[in-house]
Structure formats: structure tokens, C-alpha cells
Structure 1
């Protein structure tokens, strides 16, 4: 897969859709999946319905791709980077990076293939080295297994969110349908 960062962001924008203001959503008003709090934190002061698509694209690039280092993960594996960006948009980039680190630790053959990582939510050099080592050893099959592991962690997190806040149950079916790949 040779998906570019721009293509990954375009997929997120398509998946997120347009304006939503569901009172059950703790994030409040959103446009293209960007919450009002995120828009304001990134300098946008207008009405959420009027948030330009280009502004949303730029927020996604800066906050959900470059800042957490997922652009550098994309040079190793575009599908894994796409999964991390998508998870980061919905759960936060730190959560997505922790999912990757936890999965790498679980798949490192008791430290024989590469050392355990600190699960710090930073997709830095150590995480990239571990991912490279994992994929060099396991290849395309390893990439598929990593994607399955990331989706399993994401699915478990959704169930926990639904258990912790009953209003989240309204979104559960959609989260599993659109966020957790089959």
C-alpha cells in the first residue's frame, strides 16, 4: 500500500463527515470530526458549521499526524500509520501510540526480537525501531497481525467507554462499524 499522508487525512475527513451536534456526544459540536475545543485550540474562532475543510485538513495534519510522529510511522507502514491516525482522531494520538507500543511489547517474542518499549504514548525513535524490527522479521503477515492487534485494543477501549458512560452506547454500533476494521 502506498497511501500518502494526504490520502490518510482524506480518508479521515470522508469518514468523519460534516457538521454534527449530538447532545449525547461529550465532544459537543463537530465539523469534519474536529471538535469545537480542538478548533478553538488551533485558532479557529468561527461557527463550527462554517469550519473550512482546508482548516480541518491542516488541524489533522499538524495535531494528529505530525505532532505524534505518525508521519514517520507512515514511512515504515502506511496501513499502520493510517490506523494510528484514525484511532488518534477518535481517541487521542497518545492513546493510539500507546496501543502500538503495547502491541509491539506483546509481539516481541519475550524481548528476543527487540526490547520492550516504555508505553509513554510517544511514537518516537525507539517505537519506530521496534516496529521496523517487527516488520523485518514478520513481513506482510506481521503487518496484518499488528493491524488486528491495534483494532482489538481499539474495540476493547470502545466497550470500556460504553460501560463507563451510558450515553456512549448510542455511538457503539457506529464506532465498531466504521472504526474497527473487520
Structure 2
């Protein structure tokens, strides 16, 4: 699926301007926080941020910068899941989920070496992904997506347990972000 389609779907879920009192990230527009907008050159009122600015930020910061475009060349469904997870939890967290899943699925390091959990997509992570997919094929991609979803769901529950104000978001997180 092209990144433009993924961004359109994400923006449709996130909606326009939102300022929920329990959201530690503060005000958002199209799902982009004020801090992220400012860090990426938008300095107008967040409520008025154009959708095109949000789409540009998503493509640059949450797709190309973490390397999800390189994952998409190998496993597009996995890349889509990592993109959505990265937007909601941070790209380093999403990549960490992938690295943990690849480590747990390497059959005791007999298929490829364990990866450092560094939250970065580099040659070692891509090499492990290539080795995993070569061994498991397209069905392996679906298993990795399930593993990332499982880790994401556990993190959402943990966030709500540690901070009761996050319970306001838990249902939506689980309903809208876990396949």
C-alpha cells in the first residue's frame, strides 16, 4: 500500500483538531502534536495546521526517517503496522517491537543472530528480516504483524494500569490500532 494511502487512512482515524485534557501530548491536529509540528517547521496555530503539512510530516518523520520505507520493500503489511505503531507510540518503540519479535522467532539464533534492541532499522535488522522472510515466506509477515500487535496491546494495557487517566484512551487504542 502506498504511503499516501496509509497517511490518508491515519488522518481519517485521527481527525482534525483535538485537545483532550488527559492527553499528555497536548493539542493535536490530524494526529500531529504541537511539539512535532514545531520541530518540523510549522509555527502557526496548531488548530489551523493544513492537512498537507501533517501529511508531509508523517511521510518524512514517521515513514522515511525510521526506515519503514525499506521495510515496505520487503513486507508492506508489516511496514504499515510499524508506521501506525510508530505514530502512536514512537518509531523507536515500533522498531523495538519488530526487533524483539525477530529475536524471539529466530529459533535460538539458528536462523540469524539476535539483534540489539536499539530501536533503529539498519543493516542488521533488515538482514534479520530478510532471513526470516526467506525462511517463513509471506505467512511469516503475518506472524510478525501479529507479534507487533501483541506487544502494542500489552503496552496499551500497561499504560492504562500505570496511569488511570489513560483509561480514557484504552478502548480507542485497542479498537482502532490493534488488528
Which TM-score bucket, shorter chain as reference? over 0.9
- 1:135 deviates by 1.0
- 1:88 deviates by 0.4
SS at 2:25 equivalent: coil
Counterparts of 1:11 and 1:125, CA distance in 2: 30
- Measured against aligned partners, the alpha-carbon deviations of 1:30-58 in whole angstroms (never above 9, x if no partner) come to 01100111111111111111111110011
| Residue in 2 that maps onto 1:127 | 125
| Residue in 1 that maps onto 2:6 | 8
The answer to whether the Cα contact below 8 Å between 1:13 and 1:33 also exists between their aligned partners in 2 is: yes
State the Cα RMSD in Å: 0.9
What are the ranges of 5 or more consecutive residues in structure 2 without an aligned counterpart? none
- 1:116 deviates by 0.5
TM-score w.r.t. structure 2 length? 0.97
| Residue in 1 that maps onto 2:88 | 90
The answer to whether the Cα contact below 8 Å between 1:17 and 1:31 also exists between their aligned partners in 2 is: yes
Identify which range, 93-102 or 45-54, moves more after superposition. 45-54
- Measured against aligned partners, the alpha-carbon deviations of 1:73-127 in whole angstroms (never above 9, x if no partner) come to 1101111000001000000000000000000000001111111001100011111
Matched, 1:19 2:17: yes
The answer to whether the Cα contact below 8 Å between 1:5 and 1:74 also exists between their aligned partners in 2 is: no
- 1:160 deviates by 1.1
SS at 2:112 equivalent: coil
Counterparts of 2:138 and 2:81, CA distance in 1: 16
Matched, 1:103 2:110: no
SS at 1:46 equivalent: coil
Counterparts of 1:43 and 1:97, CA distance in 2: 25
| Residue in 1 that maps onto 2:42 | 44
Counterparts of 2:7 and 2:71, CA distance in 1: 14
SS at 1:73 equivalent: helix
| Residue in 2 that maps onto 1:146 | 144
What are the ranges of 5 or more consecutive residues in structure 1 without an aligned counterpart? none
